[in-house]
Amino acid sequence: WRIVPFLSGVGLLTIMWLLVKRVTKSWQAAFITLVVLGFDGLLFIYSRLGLMDGILYFFVFTSFYAFVVALDQKKKLKQALFILLSGIFAGCAIGVKWLGLASIILAGIWFLCKSWQQYRGTGKEKNISRRTWLSVLGALVLAALTYAVTFIGAGANWAQLSKDIYV
């Protein structure tokens, strides 16, 4: 039962390396991030004890990374694929804890910053296309659907779930 938190802890280090390297365009900044996270006791304890927070962080930052990559894509199919992945990982993050909504907030802030940058003319393109706006909306819908799917199966007993909340 400890393998999933361990793998998500290791995966988080990888995702943070990729995210920082893509955003800052600096391998030195990515390396410093990797060292700080690798030696941080909190992440280590979450992974060692099997706490859900490490899994949550993995899904939040994986969703955000996929979204950042999606906005940089020129081809429609690649952008759609990364938006799809971002929505799925955001839904998984929300399924772990509601704090996973941070992935949607991070993506929204990034999207607004990129939109403003392009509106001001400092980006490569003057406007973000309608397709990109629709893709972002689709990612939100997909995140909600993925969250709902996490309750299918053994957890689909809504009456029991509501009783457990108020006990």
3-state helix/strand/coil string of the chain: CCHHHHHHHHHHHHHHHHHHHHHHCCHHHHHHHHHHHHHCHHHHHHHHHCCHHHHHHHHHHHHHHHHHHHHHCCCHHHHHHHHHHHHHHHHHHHHHCHHHHHHHHHHHHHHHHHHHHHHCCCCCCCCCCHHHHHHHHHHHHHHHHHHHHCCCCHHHCHHHHHHHHHC
pLDDT of residue 123: 52
Put residue 163 in one of left, alpha, beta given phi > 0 → left and psi -120 to 50 → alpha. Answer: alpha
Tokens 């030696």 belong to which residue?
39
pLDDT of residue 32: 92
pLDDT of residue 153: 59
pLDDT of residue 144: 79
Mean pLDDT by 10 residues, the chain (167 residues): 79 91 92 86 71 85 91 84 88 84 81 76 60 74 77 58 54
pLDDT of residue 20: 93
How many residues does this entry show for the chain?
A: 167
Q: Which amino acid is at 12?
A: L
Structural contact between residues 5 and 55, judged by C-beta atoms closer than 8 angstroms = yes
Question: How large is the C-alpha radius of gyration of the chain?
Answer: 18
Q: Which among 75, 54, 73 is positioned nearest to 11, based on CA atoms?
A: 54
Packing angle, helices 101-119 and 76-96, rounded to 10: 150
pLDDT of residue 104: 82
The structure's pTM equals 0.76
pLDDT of residue 28: 93
Torsion sign (Cα): 7, 81, 90, 40: positive
pLDDT of residue 103: 81
